[in-house]
Amino acid sequence: MAQKSVTLNPQYPRKSKWKNIFIEAVNAILIITWLHTGISKLITHVAFYIQMQQSPLFYKNALVVSYAAPILEIIIAALLIVKKTRFIGFLSSFILMAFFTFYVVYLMVNVPSLPCSCGGVVSWMNWPQHLVFNILLTGLSFVASILYRKKIKQESIL
């Protein structure tokens, strides 16, 4: 009886290493972004609340949104910090960033003169820059969530 030989792909460890670096880099970027914007919105809560009152979508619920948005951003950062909840953090980042991206498009089309209410460094961007930034983070969140899920499944098999 002939024995089958198992050949290992020598590229596998290298690919896996780069995927892990990508996942960790995106994780760090998202944690910094969510914490920075969330804390900035809480520190400048009155200004953020006033901007939410000017929003054509949120003016009726400006007070709730002015607290809920930064708290949600900080919760997502916490989910990304804890390894057991990181996948939920990546998925939540993707969903919230997609929502923010559509919101930026809506504002660009309907109220381009409205100032950005994002908080922190992001508020210094003009609308086109902000849109590119949001699309980039949305895409990174999506790819990281897929890669992280594959990594979790692979580790559970081993």
pTM: 0.85
Return the biggest CA–CA distance within the chain.
79
pLDDT digits (tens, 9 = 90+) for 109-141: 988 777 777 777 777 888 899 999 999 999 999
Alpha helices in 1-126 (DSSP H): 12-43, 45-54, 62-81, 86-110
pLDDT digits (tens, 9 = 90+) for 18-52: 999 999 999 999 999 999 999 999 999 999 999 99
Q: Which DSSP letter does residue 44 get?
A: T
44, with CB counted inside 10 A (0-12, 13-18, 19+), is: middle
Consecutive H or E run containing 156: helix 127-157
Residue with tokens 């809506």: 106
Residues 84, 86, 92: CA angle, nearest 5 degrees: 130
Report the mean per-residue pLDDT for the chain. Answer: 89
pLDDT exceeds 60 at position 56? yes
Long-range contacts of 132-138 (CB under 8 A, 24+ apart): 134/97, 134/100, 134/101, 134/104, 135/101, 137/29, 137/30, 137/33, 137/93, 137/97, 138/94, 138/97, 138/98, 138/101
